[in-house]
Amino acid sequence: MKSIILTGYALFLFVPSGRSQDAAIDHHPFAIGEINYFGYGGLPLEKIRAALPWHVGDKLSFATFSRKPVADAISSVIGKPPTDVNIVCCDPSRRLEIFIGLPGSTSRSVPTAPAPSGNIHLDPEGLRLYNQGQPLMMKISCQAPPPKNTPQLPPNQPHPFARRCNKSPSIPVYLY
């Protein structure tokens, strides 16, 4: 049961995170904080760990991330590729988390619904409220002070975790 929950959790929450959303952090090297495995029942997990090209503490960036070396390493140990490999930024210590799905006895497929094919849209009032709320959410987010433990960087260099808040077209403001 635990592996089913973890499999669903990793597939639905972490698949979109394989590439960073902000080009400024694509090449920023992050330390690997954790490597989490799911679906490994009956597999030699220690041999798989030893064969991996990355280990906790190694540096990795979104730009250098590739699933192929992990798939090759796992295939060399168990004869099958992983079911999933993905990275997530970041844990509370700003280190990467890697999730690796394995085709062991506890691996389960997560059923998905077919893609929508109808012509259903949000109600116009719902769209109006959404469009009205987005600028307010950005305003609130941009007014929040940065956390007290945010490291200081040289002037004119945005922090790699910054989110741009444009209060003026000519003056970018970064939210940490």
Which of residues 123 and 46 earns the better pLDDT score?
A: 46
Question: For residue 96, what are its two tokens?
Answer: 């990467």
For residue 75, name the pLDDT band (cuts at 50, 70, 90): very high
For the segment 51-69, the average pLDDT, to the nearest whole number, is 92
pLDDT tops 50 at residue 6: no
Average pLDDT over residues 99-125: 86
pLDDT of residue 169: 43
CATH topology of domain 2-101: Ubiquitin-like (UB roll) (3.10.20)
Residue, of 4 and 119, whose pLDDT is higher = 119
Task: Check pLDDT > 90 for residue 82.
Answer: yes
Indicate if the pLDDT at residue 63 is higher than 70: yes
Encoded tokens for 141: 């987010």
What own/partner pairs with CB < 8 Å and gap ≥ 24 does 20-27 have?
Answer: 20/62, 20/89, 22/163, 24/158, 24/160, 24/162, 25/62, 25/89, 25/160, 25/161, 26/61, 26/62, 26/63, 27/61, 27/62, 27/63
Q: What is the pLDDT of residue 111?
A: 81
Look at residue 142 in the predicted model and tell me its pLDDT. 66
User: What does the mean pLDDT of the chain come to?
Assistant: 75
| Most confident of the following: 3-12, 106-115, 148-157 | 106-115
| pLDDT average, residue stretch 105-119 | 85
- Inform me whether the pLDDT recorded for 26 exceeds 50: yes
Q: Is 141 a residue whose pLDDT tops 80?
A: no
Residue 98: count other Cβ atoms within 10 Å of its Cβ. 23
For the chain, give every domain's residue range.
2-101, 134-175
Q: What is the band of 135 on the pLDDT scale with cuts at 50, 70, 90?
A: confident
Q: What is the pLDDT of residue 13?
A: 38
* Ramachandran angles phi, psi of 101, nearest 5°: -90, 135
- Cα(64)–Cα(69) distance, integer angstroms: 11
The answer, yes or no, to whether the previous bond of 142 is cis (omega within 30 of 0) is no
Overall average pLDDT of the 7-36 stretch: 61
